[in-house]
């Protein structure tokens, strides 16, 4: 972030600033920050990822038909947070919070500070509005994606706190319990979520930290997760990364360059509704612990059988190259199937799941270690789909007897509805509140 291009008092990137409550939460006031904007070259630069100069200058528009952070080329880092709304919060106060978040996010994603006063412009006698740690290193491809939990519409106890129960889409259900689920409810769910992704970890953390600060008194952090090393490509311009099992991950993912498939599998369509949610998507987040120490003792051939793909280049075991389609009927000289029926790829492939596809956008995590010295590591799995039930049906097929499952333990699970994008001056979720 550097000097602000928009003079105080003129029309900023936004027509409105933070609400009085948002400003009170910051206890500050004042002016700074400069948009860098380089969306045109975004996809190419995103392929580089990492922390070079160019990936730091990258910026994606906050406004648009869909929220950023879904088909946007997956960045290198993630900070994901879920929030519970304060007891007694009114509908108007909830709207105000979403307005404040949208305003702040639209600035942060352009390399500006959260408010015009920013980190240094509020004067020596006020706490700064912006916490300042992203100064000089943002926007770094930051995207801020805001989602709604089912409890926003109606709580588990049936409480319609914000007069939204009638707007709840019938598809919006939490996932059923899967085999090997050991779900910590405190680390799952929430009324609201914010997914912050960036090519710089500090920029992602700065975004979540400052949005949490703005929400003070209105929403409280329920759980959060840091992620590093994207485990998917969401653009054909990106290389396929590797996950903590050392596998190429994201090969067959849906990509930004496949709009028809995104319409069919990711975006809530006009035929599904409700109208306010059209162009949105369901975000499924699963915190999957991976027994990496056990995996590391498994022979390479077995690791490949479990996955159904060659570990070095990611090609299916039925032959070809990384992007070849697996042939599930191909057999070797011994008459055995080349791609095991219980391999991960066989279990989750669309051919074996009524054609269902999803856009995966997960990140690796390592959160310290246990008393035995094993890393608390895994995949913070994120997928975008147009109905949670479609995701659940693929997952059930996997959880049933996928060879992979022996090495995995899911400890948190959440579903959020990410509303469609909005245009400049609007706030995320406006379609819902005005429906
Ligand atoms: C730690 C857990 C997981 C790991 C390490 C993992 C790893 C992989 C790998 C290596 C591939 C092959 C490359 C690719 O096409 O991306 C893959 C594919 C895939 N995975 Fe997973 N995965 C995990 C969990 C899940 C879960 C929970 C689901 C959802 C049910 C899922 C759905 C898929 C799908 C849909 C594909 C593409 C299949 C295809 O079209 O060929 N994965 N995964």
Q: What's the pLDDT at 22?
A: 84
Tell me the CA–centroid distance for residue 345 and ligand 1, in Å: 7
Among 74, 178, 241, 249, residue to substitute to test ligand 1 (most atoms within 8 Å of Cβ): 249
Evaluate: CB of 218 within 6 angstroms of ligand 1: no
Tell me the CA–centroid distance for residue 397 and ligand 1, in Å: 12
Query: Which residue lies with its CA nearest to atom 11 of ligand 1?
Result: 249
- The whole-chain average pLDDT of the chain stands at 91
Please say if the pLDDT value at position 8 is more than 70.
no
Q: Let me know: does 435 contact 277? Beta carbons within 8 Å.
A: no
pLDDT tens for 325-337 read 999 999 999 999 9
pLDDT tens for 341-376 read 999 999 999 999 999 999 999 999 999 999 999 999
Q: What's the pLDDT at 401?
A: 86
Evaluate: CB of 395 within 6 angstroms of ligand 1: yes
Please say if the pLDDT value at position 2 is more than 90.
no
Query: Which residue lies with its CA nearest to atom 30 of ligand 1?
Result: 395
The confidence band for 56, taking pLDDT boundaries of 50, 70 and 90, is: confident
Average pLDDT over residues 221-240: 96
Evaluate: CB of 356 within 6 angstroms of ligand 1: no
Three-state SS for the chain is: CCCCCCCCCCCCCCCCCCCHHHHHHHCCCCCCCCCCCCHHHHHHHHHHCCCCHHHHHCCCCCCCCCCCCCCCCCCCEEEEEEEEECCCCCHHHHHHHHHHHHHHHHHHCCCCCCCCCCCCCCCCCCCCCCCCCCCCCCCCCCEEEEEEEHHHHCCCCCCCCCCCHHHCCCCCCCCCCCCCECCCHHHCCCCEEEEEEECCHHHHHHHHHHHHHHCCCCEEEEEEEEEEEECCCCCCCCCCCECCCCCECCCCCCCCCCHHHHHHHCCCCCCCCCHHHCCCEEEEEEEEEECHHHHCCCCHHHHHHHHCECCCCCCECCCCCCCCCCCCCCECCCCCECCCCCCHHHHHCHHHCCCCCCEECCEEEEEEECCCCCEEEEEEEEEEECCHHHHHHHHHHHHHHCHHHHHEEEEEEEEEEECCCCCCCCCCCHHHHCC
Tell me the CA–centroid distance for residue 404 and ligand 1, in Å: 10
Tell me the CA–centroid distance for residue 426 and ligand 1, in Å: 36
pLDDT tens for 144-184 read 999 999 999 999 999 999 999 999 999 999 999 998 899 99
Number of the ligand 1 atom closest to the C-alpha atom of 395: 30
The confidence band for 17, taking pLDDT boundaries of 50, 70 and 90, is: confident
Q: Let me know: does 109 contact 159? Beta carbons within 8 Å.
A: no
Q: What's the pLDDT at 52?
A: 64
Query: Which residue lies with its CA nearest to atom 31 of ligand 1?
Result: 348
Evaluate: CB of 142 within 6 angstroms of ligand 1: no
The confidence band for 6, taking pLDDT boundaries of 50, 70 and 90, is: very low
Q: What's the pLDDT at 325?
A: 97
The confidence band for 142, taking pLDDT boundaries of 50, 70 and 90, is: very high
Please say if the pLDDT value at position 13 is more than 80.
no
Evaluate: CB of 398 within 6 angstroms of ligand 1: yes
Average pLDDT over residues 1-26: 55
The confidence band for 255, taking pLDDT boundaries of 50, 70 and 90, is: very high
Q: What's the pLDDT at 376?
A: 97
Query: Which residue lies with its CA nearest to atom 38 of ligand 1?
Result: 349
Number of the ligand 1 atom closest to the C-alpha atom of 325: 41
Number of the ligand 1 atom closest to the C-alpha atom of 350: 40
29-38, 241-250, 324-333: which range is least confident on average?
29-38
Among 241, 322, 348, 395, residue to substitute to test ligand 1 (most atoms within 8 Å of Cβ): 348
The structure's pTM equals 0.92
């Amino acid at each position: 972030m550097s000097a602000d291009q928009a003079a105080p008092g003129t029309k900023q990137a936004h027509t409105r600033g933070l609400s009085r409550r948002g400003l009170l939460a910051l206890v500050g006031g004042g002016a700074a920050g400069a948009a860098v904007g380089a969306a045109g070259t975004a996809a190419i630069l995103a392929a580089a990822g990492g922390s070079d100069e160019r990936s730091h200058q990258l910026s994606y528009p906050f406004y648009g038909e869909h929220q950023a952070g879904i088909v946007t080329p997956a960045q290198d880092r993630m900070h994901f947070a879920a929030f519970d709304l304060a007891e007694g919060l009114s509908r108007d106060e909830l709207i105000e919070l979403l307005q404040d978040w949208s305003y702040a996010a639209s600035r942060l994603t352009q390399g500006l500070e959260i408010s015009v006063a920013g980190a240094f412009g509020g004067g020596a006698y006020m706490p700064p509005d912006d916490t300042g740690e992203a100064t000089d290193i943002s926007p770094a491809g930051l995207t801020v994606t805001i989602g709604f939990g089912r409890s926003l519409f109606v709580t588990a106890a049936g409480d319609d706190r914000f007069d939204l129960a009638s707007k709840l889409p019938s598809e919006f259900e939490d996932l059923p319990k899967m085999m090997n689920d050991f779900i910590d409810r405190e680390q799952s769910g929430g009324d609201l979520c914010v997914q912050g992704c960036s090519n710089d970890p500090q920029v992602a953390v700065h975004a979540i930290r400052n949005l949490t600060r703005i929400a003070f008194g209105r929403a409280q952090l329920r759980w959060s997760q840091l992620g590093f090393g994207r485990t998917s490509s969401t653009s054909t311009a990106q290389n396929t990364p590797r996950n903590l099992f050392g596998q190429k991950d994201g090969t067959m993912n849906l990509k930004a360059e496949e709009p028809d498939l995104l319409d069919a599998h990711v975006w809530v369509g006009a035929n599904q509704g409700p109208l306010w949610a059209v162009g949105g998507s369901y975000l499924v987040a699963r915190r999957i612990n991976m027994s990496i120490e056990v995996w590391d003792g498994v022979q390479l051939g077995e690791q490949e059988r479990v996955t159904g793909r060659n570990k070095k280049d990611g090609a299916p075991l039925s032959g070809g190259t990384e992007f070849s389609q697996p042939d599930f009927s191909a057999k070797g000289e011994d008459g055995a199937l080349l791609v095991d029926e219980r391999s991960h790829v066989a279990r989750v492939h669309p051919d074996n799941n009524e054609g269902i596809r999803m856009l995966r956008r997960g990140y690796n995590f390592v959160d310290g270690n246990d008393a035995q010295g094993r890393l608390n590591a895994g995949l913070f799995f994120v997928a975008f789909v147009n109905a949670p039930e479609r995701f659940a049906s693929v997952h059930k097929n996997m959880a049933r007897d996928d060879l992979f499952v022996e090495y995995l333990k899911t400890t948190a699970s959440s579903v959020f509805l990410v509303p469609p994008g909005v245009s400049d001056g609007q706030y995320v979720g406006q379609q819902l509140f005005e429906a």
